[in-house]
Chain A
Amino acid sequence: MVSDARDMRAVARRELDAHGWQWYIVWAIVCGGASLSAFTHVFAWYWLIAAPLGIVATIVVCAREDQRTGVQRDPRPYWWVGGAITVINFASSALLPGRTVVVVIWVVFGFGFVAFAWLDHQPTIAALFAALAIAIGLSGPIVPDTLTLYVVAGLVYAATMVGVAVGIRSMGTAR
């Protein structure tokens, strides 16, 4: 009976984890868009628009997937992580010098993705984002061009998230 409980919980968890790929596409677009915005006049206010849009899009795709599959995970821990990322990043952009902000934004995003992947029971993906966040944090003082660092970090996150989404989706359909 104890192993029955473990099996049933695993069934529910697999179903929940298998539909955790779509928000990666949303944030791949947001991060990729951040990199591209660096070459346009949108750069200054990109995050003011993109962050709320990304959050709304994430809620919509997750809610749709919950409706489709008929099983829903508790959204509250995700709200806490999303709220923390938003507050820290907007506070840092208001309080810190430009060069530091560029690094802080991506490092905070990276560790936010670590937390989301952890909540989705994906420790390997969490470790991947932790490694990316640390690499970006360490390259901050080394890379002389702030704009290059910002653009490359955004593109690396975007590419990683597309890869992760494809991986989760293919594993989900393989089951």
Chain B
Amino acid sequence: MISTSAEHPTRRLDDVIHQRVRFGILAVLTEADRADFQFLKERLGLTDGNLSRHLQVLAEAGFVAVTKTFEGRRPRTWVRATSTGRSGFNNHLVALQEIIDQTKAGTK
């Protein structure tokens, strides 16, 4: 789908989502209902500190909700994409796809 409006799709890209790690986190969370910290860390190949920092950015933007639970004495952190996060990620993907389509159309 190619945008017919004057606005270029890059204007609809979200800077918070566009970062590679945060984009990966939201990609996982829009497929699953929720995932735990360890799962995200292993699948995305991140350190604890790195993942925490990116989750904090996403949570402050309202894109994810973080819940801490306890299994016995062991703490466990679950992360879920909010409805804002899901729609933001999907809109971001659409904008990216439009950029790809426009670029391909321009090179033909």
- Residues on A facing B (Cβ under 8 Å): 1-2, 4-5, 8-9, 11-13, 15-16, 67, 69-75
Contacts and interface: CB of A to CB of B under 8 A. Distances in A.
Interface in B68-83: 71, 78
Nearest to A74: B33
B83 to A, nearest CB: 12
A10 to B, nearest CB: 8
B6 interface: no
A11 to B, nearest CB: 6
A9 B100 contact: no
A2 B97 contact: yes
8 nearest A-B residue pairs (beta carbon): A70-B39, A8-B27, A70-B36, A74-B33, A12-B31, A9-B31, A5-B27, A71-B35
Nearest to A1: B96
B23 A75 contact: no
Contacts of A67: 71
A55 to B, nearest CB: 19
A57 B65 CA distance: 29
A74 to B, nearest CB: 4
